Chain A
Amino acid sequence: GAVVSQHPSRVICKSGTSVKIECRSLDFQATTMFWYRQFPKQSLMLMATSNEGSKATYEQGVEKDKFLINHASLTLSTLTVTSAHPEDSSFYICSASSGGLGHEQFFGPGTRLTVL
């Protein structure tokens, strides 16, 4: 199946700093990428949906100025957590879709963010 990578896999940062997470589709063109956050023992919560070349659509309650999403190419989307705080510590997962039959989503391995 299609492969989606995320970088970094783990990041620890100080409160107030910004952190960028990359999501890449390695062997297909992703017209749509999704960003999720997952707290321990909870389900994935959709944060935003981004289509290549256009602004991301954020879910209710997700601050677009805090979680900056850029989907500049068909193989790369980035999520930047600005002015991170300890409550932003979570597991961030991206998924990518080529928009084909069934809108199959291929998930990345996730990024564990810890804000001290």
Chain B
Amino acid sequence: KNQVEQSPQSLIILEGKNCTLQCNYTVSPFSNLRWYKQDTGRGPVSLTIMTFSENTKSNGRYTATLDADTKQSSLHITASQLSDSASYICVVGASGGSYIPTFGRGTSLIVHP
């Protein structure tokens, strides 16, 4: 069964600090991995997308890494801002006929001033 596990479940940090969110997956056959940011009461917004051959990708203060061998990904947020407070969701896509996404439960990040 395809699964995506995220940790920590929730995280509280002070504004300006860095943080790293983790995503472990057992999805086969692997197609791609995405990180989304979801503000409360809103739809998710894509931050990064990575395929098998990519091991790092940045989007402003967000940097995602992927280790396809260990099936792990991380999302690093640099110099956090209050607006970073949101849920961050890791989504791993499987290929093979049709595209099937598996969602993680998300990490709830709260940035305090």
* Interface of A toward B, CB cutoff 8 Å: 1, 4, 6, 32, 34, 41-46, 49, 91, 93, 95, 97, 99, 102-110, 112
| Given A44-B44, A102-B32, A107-B44: 17 more A-B contacts, CB < 8 Å | A1-B46, A32-B99, A34-B101, A42-B105, A43-B105, A43-B106, A91-B41, A93-B43, A93-B44, A95-B43, A97-B99, A99-B99, A103-B99, A104-B46, A107-B45, A110-B41, A112-B41
Say whether A110 contacts B104, CB under 8 Å.
no
Chain B's nearest CB lies how many Å from the CB of A97? 7
Chain A's nearest CB lies how many Å from the CB of B76? 21
Chain A residues contacting B41 (CB-CB under 8 Å) are 91, 110, 112
List 9 A–B pairs whose Cβ atoms lie within 8 Å, in order of A's numbering.
Answer: A1-B46, A43-B106, A45-B103, A46-B103, A97-B99, A99-B99, A102-B31, A102-B49, A108-B43
Chain A's nearest CB lies how many Å from the CB of B45? 7
Interface hits, B31-55 → A, CB 8 Å: 31-32, 36, 41-46, 49, 51
Interface residues as binary, B80-95 with A (CB distance below 8 Å gives 1, 0 otherwise): 0000000001000100
Say whether B103 contacts A104, CB under 8 Å.
no
Chain A residues contacting B51 (CB-CB under 8 Å) are 102
Say whether B43 contacts A105, CB under 8 Å.
no
Known: A43-B105, A46-B103. A103 touches B42 (CB 8 A): no
Known: A102-B32, A104-B49. A43 touches B103 (CB 8 A): yes
Chain B residues contacting A112 (CB-CB under 8 Å) are 41
Please, which residue of chain A has its CB at the minimum distance from the CB of B98? A49
Partner among B31, B44, B101, B108 whose Cβ is within 8 Å of the Cβ of A46:
B101
Chain A residues contacting B44 (CB-CB under 8 Å) are 44, 93, 107
Please, which residue of chain A has its CB at the minimum distance from the CB of B9? A41
